[in-house]
């Protein structure tokens, strides 16, 4: 992961977890349209529409880009520290229950932890690729998420060019059923999409999801760049250390080498066939689980 060079004062805030003096930061009284990104790694953290004047002396936001900010108990034992979920840069602290906005949350952030990107220079759409068993299920799940622009089922991870569904179903092409997820990084982070991926399938079963058996149904993440590759590997390491799953994770993490769109009849399958037996018995329960666990991420 490429990290930006920091000045001594930026290092003091970001790495040594110090706090800049109140009312001294560049973004304390700042209300241009755009996004605020991590000064060290460039990950999108906050949007300008979520910034508000808390009269506290530091830039304040009542919500973050989902998945972009990590909360941890502060070393003082009293407060909750916030850090960049991608690189761990210290941002500041989060406070709840002050009733300053409808969200009732205040992210109190050091200006030196962020850089502002104006609206006309915001990052464009990004793309992620996930295989979690049958692509009908994955497509239905990711279509629900706010900030996801499109979801396309297809085949990836193998060496055969332009495979058909029948080819992939033999289990001999090396390809897995996957989805291509185009998303707006100012509304949803890659980290948040990974959280959804791991929570909505079993990443501990080799070449199998339920009754779908074969290498085409394996758990796989296909990284479009080095940053995605590193984030995916770190996510797996964190899940293993936290013992989220009872068995070892067998999810493959590979660099994307090609993606082939599935046939037209596979696209938007759940929406077209909601009463089909597979949709009722397999996809609908996943949808229910998604609504319960990730309500804050769902499209309105």
- Catalytic residues, by residue number, are 108, 134
The SS3 of residue 93 is: strand
Contact 291, 258 (CB under 8 A): no
Distance CA 1, CA 24 (A): 30
- In degrees, to the nearest 5, what angle opens at C-alpha 176 toward C-alphas 257 and 267? 100
Phi, psi of 132, rounded to the nearest 5 degrees? -135, 40
- Integer CA distances (angstroms), 284 to 176, 265, 273, 281, 287, in order: 22, 19, 11, 6, 5
- Residue 294, token pair as written in the block: 């990730």
Distance CA 202, CA 151 (A): 20
């Amino acid at each position: 992961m490429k990290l930006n060079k920091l000045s001594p004062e930026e290092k003091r805030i970001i790495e040594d977890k110090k706090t800049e003096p109140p009312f001294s930061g560049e973004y304390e009284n700042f209300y241009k349209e755009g996004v605020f990104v991590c000064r060290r790694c460039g990950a999108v953290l906050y949007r300008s529409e979520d910034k508000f004047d808390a009269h506290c002396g530091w830039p304040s936001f009542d919500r973050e880009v989902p998945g972009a900010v990590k909360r941890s108990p502060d070393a003082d034992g009293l407060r909750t520290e916030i850090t960049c979920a991608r690189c761990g840069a210290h941002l500041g602290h989060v406070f709840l229950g002050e009733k300053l906005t409808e969200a009732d949350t205040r992210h109190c952030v050091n200006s030196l932890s962020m850089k502002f990107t104006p609206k006309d220079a915001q990052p464009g759409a990004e793309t992620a690729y996930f295989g979690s068993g049958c692509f009908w299920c994955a497509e239905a799940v990711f279509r629900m998420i706010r900030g996801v622009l499109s979801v396309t089922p297809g085949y990836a991870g193998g060496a055969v060019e332009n495979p058909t569904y029948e080819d992939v179903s033999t289990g001999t092409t090396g390809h897995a059923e996957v989805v291509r997820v185009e998303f707006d990084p100012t509304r949803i982070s890659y980290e948040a999409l990974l959280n959804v991926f791991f929570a909505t399938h079993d990443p501990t079963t080799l070449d199998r999801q339920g009754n779908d058996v074969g290498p085409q149904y394996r758990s796989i993440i296909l990284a479009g760049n080095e940053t995605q590759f590193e984030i995916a590997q770190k996510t797996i390491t964190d899940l293993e250390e936290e013992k989220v799953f009872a068995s070892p994770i067998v999810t493959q993490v590979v660099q994307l080498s090609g993606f082939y769109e599935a046939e037209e009849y596979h696209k938007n399958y759940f929406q077209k066939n909601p009463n089909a037996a597979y949709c009722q018995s397999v996809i609908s329960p996943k949808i229910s689980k998604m609504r319960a666990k990730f309500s804050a991420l769902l499209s309105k």
